[in-house]
Structure 1
Amino acid sequence: MIRTGRTGRGYALRGAAAVAVVALAAVTAGCKEQPAAGASAAPSAPASGDSPTDDAKPGGGTPSPSATATPTATPKEPAGASPEPSASRTTSAPTPTADPQGTVLMASGAQGEQVRELQARLRQIGHFDRSPTGYYGTVTVAAVQSFQGKRGLSRTGRTDTVTWRKLLGMTRKPTATELNPPTTRPVAKPDKRCLEGRVLCISKNSRTLSWVIDGKVVSSMDVRFGSQYTPTREGTFSVYWKSRHHVSSIYHTAMPYAMFFSGGQAVHYSSDFAARGYDGASHGCVNVRDEGKIAALFAQVRTGDKVVVYK
């Protein structure tokens, strides 16, 4: 009887162990569903009657009432005591100090009429060496830094209220021509050879062309020249041929409003110059960017008029 009981108990224990192994194998063989992107990884709420915070009793079943912890009363804080800081309490960020030079009005990347006025005023007192563009780029940043440094201000390169007030006090309101000059770069002082008669006065240094009649500049425009391998010739020439709808017989490119002055070199409109600016170059001709201006010039220039190309 005793042996039989022990054997029965042994079989019962081995049977229970086998059931546990099978249950464990069923769990590990199953697929766990992955949470969707952005879904919380917190476990789902337990079924009614389950207590996820309690450990299961050996053999299953519901824990006895004695296993439930009795809450302890929280002692009262002594009168006048300072509360302990909470670890989760958020501390406010320090208040930023005000910029001593005031509010920033313009900075790198800005564009518009106020930027154009800034550039024109800086140019009046020698801090901006080109015509206003209306765009606040690296050249304007450097000009503002130069102005700020000479006035004892922080060289931020940004135009703040203090910098702007100082600039206004040292300059006058720009004229319409100063705000919107005829050329990107300042027009060069005409060469002495340009002061008599009717002359196309072309400066390589300033990259400008001025139409001069008896020493008076009638109009000016941006121009570009040939590359180092096909340079534009310098010297005194004259217009020997005009061709309104000319097409190059060598390069097969359009040369509208062409005014030839030296061999195959001419002053003419360039759509490439209008699109790419000074990133490109001609094959020796004097390219004009503004089609309206070259059209007006073409109508005024006569065969035999002087052309002066100089540095």
Structure 2
Amino acid sequence: MEHRRRQHSERLTRARRAGIATAGIAGLVVPLAVSLATAAPAQAASCTTSTGPYQKKVEKFLGRPVDGKQSAADCKATRAFQAKHGITPTIGYAGPVTWGVMDLMNKQKAAGKTPDKAKKCPTNKGRIACVDLTRQLSWIQDGKKLVYGPVPVRTGRDGYETRTGLKKIYWKHKNHVSTIYDVPMPYSQFFDGGQAFHSANLSMWNPPGSHGCVNMTSKDAAAYWSRLKTGDDVYVYGRKPGT
């Protein structure tokens, strides 16, 4: 009798161990399936068929037929514009960010060769670099004479606004590298704390903006470098859209 009880007990023990092992394997299998599903690469964003709130304006800007209806050709042209200027998501949607960049370009173009038509930049300082945050434009003038520009610039984003007011260039460093962000800042000309004119290797219409510096193309930054010197005035005014 005792022998039979011992055999029965051993069979129960083996059954429990088998159950635990099975449960353990199941517990491993389920997370693995979830893990594989999570790790699957996301599909590339496709071209949207939705008509955006600025459809007609975007179509007009891009030289497309203005009918206010999204088409495959409209989407392709809009996506190309978005990709060129770093606007995301790049799905061809005629939304507020895309139109905001286009509208800014229109305003910059309208400035022509008279960027200081409103007489907001001082004309009694001699040579001065002007920065209009509202239109994201900069130029150099000497009195009332336009010396260089206007050129599109990319100024500080929300939370890192380029500070307004009258300033002076106090330090120039041609091959500067940011000690904060560890990024190159060629043709740096500092005028307010860590804020400076310098070139940036991206579109000047790439949203949302810099960390406070006035970004320029390499061509324009080099031109500013050769035309400005330490002690020259810089005047920043206006307000960047979105800040």
The residue identity in structure 2 corresponding to 1:220 is P
1:257 maps onto 2:181 in alignment: no
The residue identity in structure 2 corresponding to 1:238 is K
Cα distance in structure 2, aligned partners of 1:213 and 1:233 = 22
Q: Greater Rg, structure 1 or structure 2?
A: 1
1:245 maps onto 2:175 in alignment: yes
Could you give the per-residue CA deviations for residues 53-73 of structure 1, whole angstroms, max 9, x where no partner exists?
Answer: xxxxxxxxxxxxxxxxxxxxx
Q: Is the 8 A contact 2:165 2:236 kept in 1?
A: yes
TM (norm. structure 2) is: 0.51
Cα distance in structure 1, aligned partners of 2:189 and 2:203 = 17
Identify the structure with bigger relative contact order (alpha carbons < 8 Å, sequence gap 6+). 2
Shift of 1:229: 1.1
Pairwise CA RMSD: 3.0
1:285 maps onto 2:213 in alignment: yes
SS at match of 2:223: helix
Task: Give the counterpart of 1:206 among 126, 135, 139.
Answer: 135
Match of 2:222 in 1: 295
Match of 1:226 in 2: 156
Match of 2:60 in 1: 141
Task: Give the counterpart of 1:194 among 115, 122, 126.
Answer: 122
* Residues 273 and 141 of structure 1: CA distance in aligned 2, closer, same or farther (over 3 Å): closer
Number of residue-to-residue matches in the alignment: 140
TM (norm. structure 1) is: 0.40
* Residues 199 and 141 of structure 1: CA distance in aligned 2, closer, same or farther (over 3 Å): same
Q: Is the 8 A contact 1:224 1:287 kept in 2?
A: yes
Cα distance in structure 1, aligned partners of 2:223 and 2:133 = 22
1:310 maps onto 2:237 in alignment: yes
* Residues 156 and 186 of structure 1: CA distance in aligned 2, closer, same or farther (over 3 Å): same
SS at match of 1:272: coil
Cα distance in structure 2, aligned partners of 1:201 and 1:270 = 19
SS at match of 1:242: strand
* Residues 156 and 287 of structure 1: CA distance in aligned 2, closer, same or farther (over 3 Å): same
Q: Is the 8 A contact 1:240 1:304 kept in 2?
A: yes
Q: Which runs of 5+ in 1 are unaligned?
A: 1-136, 145-154, 158-180
* Residues 138 and 256 of structure 1: CA distance in aligned 2, closer, same or farther (over 3 Å): same
Shift of 1:230: 1.0
Shift of 1:223: 0.5
Match of 1:168 in 2: none
Could you give the per-residue CA deviations for residues 112-143 of structure 1, whole angstroms, max 9, x where no partner exists?
Answer: xxxxxxxxxxxxxxxxxxxxxxxxx8345289
Shift of 1:255: 0.6
Match of 1:132 in 2: none
* Residues 141 and 265 of structure 1: CA distance in aligned 2, closer, same or farther (over 3 Å): same
Q: Is the 8 A contact 1:185 1:206 kept in 2?
A: no
Cα distance in structure 2, aligned partners of 1:199 and 1:141 = 37
Question: How does 1:100-111 map onto structure 2 within 5 Å?
Answer: none
